[in-house]
Structure 1
Amino acid sequence: MTLMTLLADVQLGYSHFGGAIGAGLAAIGAGIGIGQIGKGAVESIARQPEASNDIRANMILTAAFVEGVALFAVIAGLLAVLKA
Structure 2
Amino acid sequence: MERKKMALTLLLVMTFLLFCMAQASSVDSSVHIQDQFTNFELVKGPNRRLLAFVDCGRRCSVRCSMHSRPKVCMRACGTCCIRCKCVPPGTYGNREICGRCYTDMTTHGNKPKCP
Q: Determine if the TM-score, normalized by the shorter chain, exceeds 0.5.
A: no
Q: What TM-score do you get using the length of structure 1 for normalisation?
A: 0.39
> Higher strand share goes to which structure?
2
Q: Which has the higher helix share?
A: 1
Where relative contact order (Cα < 8 A, 6+ residues apart) is larger, the structure is: 1
Q: TM-score, normalised by structure 2?
A: 0.32
